[in-house]
Amino acid sequence: MNLEFEILAHPHDSTKDNLRFASVPPSSFCTIFFFFLPPPPMSEPQVATAEGGPSKSALKKAQKEKEKAAKKAAAKKAEQENRAAAQVALQEDTAKDNYGIIPSSTERPTITSLQQLTGDFVGKEVTVVTRVHNSRSQSAKLAFLMLRQQGETIQAVVAAAGDSVSRQMVKWSIGIHVNSVVRVSGVVSKPEPPVASATLGELELHVTKIYMVAEAAEQIPIQVKDLERPNERPDEEAKEAAGEAPIVSLATRLDNRTIDLQTKCNQAILSISHGVEILFQEYLSKRGFRSVHTPKLLGAATEGGASVFEIPNYFGKQAFLAQSPQFYKQMLICGDVERVFEIGPVFRAENSNSHRHLTEVSGSHKEVKPIFPSESLGFFMSRLDSKTV
């Protein structure tokens, strides 16, 4: 008996070409091995749908967010590096003790006023206490300050050189607010050419130390340079509207009187007034006059024919402002003082609309005991210089 087997070369292949027949005799002994091979992978087409993945706009947005995060991280890193560099630079500031808030030390340098500076100070180190009139930066290593004191101005140079002046010191100096009071130490030099914008243009101050004494507000109500211009006509307001320098009215000056007094014109007025008073005092003192101070608040009017300022309630009584020291001068003459003078104010209630009036005025008042009955004060004063009295 013969056994027949049908063997397929591949389980999925049923073609007749792969059919094989084998006959095994019944008396034969054989072992048949069956091998089953897995089917080859089938390549199936992949279909992309809108729901199966992100859209192009979503991909772009994600990319932008990633770039934004990277930029933010880079900026943060740069900021940290800058802070670290600034900290290192601050630690390396060799001039940190030569500027800033004035130290509370026992050092008391000799203070020189700008009025005292002359060509004899060239090459010498001086210390001044002034206001900062203005400032300008030339570079990171060079700055110029205009210092002002009682109408006088001088240019100060802050130049980074050596260990005494650093870049940080130059930067700090530029940041000082206008009109701040500073104490400056430096070497006086002679600039070439002279500084035309300074009253002390023949001199210049090379700064070695600068300290803040009193800091002004960042924005003051009015600039001194604006106050130093004379008052213009009312029609000049049109020029202001066109962008020229502002006009300063009298009301603005009175509202900011402390700043207005810093101008060179007002400083000159005060200096002249002081000088005239000193001349009166010297002249009269050398000739035997004594200075006196009489009361200015009186219980009765001292002179007739002039209006007086009344004070209705002086502790329940009526009082008046002094119109003249005449009554008290005569009292002193009768008391054998013989020669007296007073420089002081008098008050007269004269309703005047002029820019010059006698409502309040300071005057020089003199009184002399006559030697001969016919002598007058004028005649006596004319004889003082001849030294016959």
CA 217 to chain CA centroid, Å, is 6
CA 275 to chain CA centroid, Å, is 34
Number of other residues whose CB lies within 10 A of the CB of residue 294 = 19
* Alpha carbon separation from 321 to 268, 288, 324, 354, 360 (Å, rounded): 30, 29, 9, 22, 10
DSSP strand pairing (142-149 vs 317-321): unpaired
H-only helix segments in the chain: 56-91, 167-174, 224-227, 237-241, 250-255, 257-260, 264-285, 326-334, 377-382
Which token pair is 139?
């570079």
Which token pair is 128?
């001044």
The answer to whether residues 143 and 69 touch, using CB atoms and an 8 Å cutoff, is no
Contacts of 369 (CB under 8 A, 6+ apart): 333, 336, 337, 338, 339
The answer to whether residues 163 and 208 touch, using CB atoms and an 8 Å cutoff, is no
Please, what's the largest Cα pairwise distance for the chain? 191
Tell me which H or E stretch contains 208: strand 204-214
- Domain 100-214: CATH superfamily is Nucleic acid-binding proteins (2.40.50.140)
Which token pair is 283?
């002249």
Tell me if the domain spanning 266-382 has CATH number 3.30.300.30. Answer: no
Tell me which H or E stretch contains 347: strand 339-347
> What pLDDT score was predicted for residue 262?
93
Which token pair is 208?
């070695």
Tell me 222's DSSP state.
S
Q: Tell me the chain's radius of gyration from C-alpha atoms.
A: 50
Q: Averaged in consecutive runs of 10 residues, what is the pLDDT profile of the chain (389 residues)?
A: 49 49 50 54 49 73 87 89 71 85 83 94 95 92 94 94 89 94 95 92 95 91 85 54 70 92 92 94 92 92 75 91 90 92 90 75 87 61 54
The answer to whether residues 131 and 148 touch, using CB atoms and an 8 Å cutoff, is yes
> What pLDDT score was predicted for residue 94?
84
Q: Closest by alpha carbon to 380, among 292, 293, 287, 279? A: 287
Q: Closest by alpha carbon to 178, among 222, 140, 210? A: 222
> What pLDDT score was predicted for residue 225?
86
Which token pair is 144?
């110029």
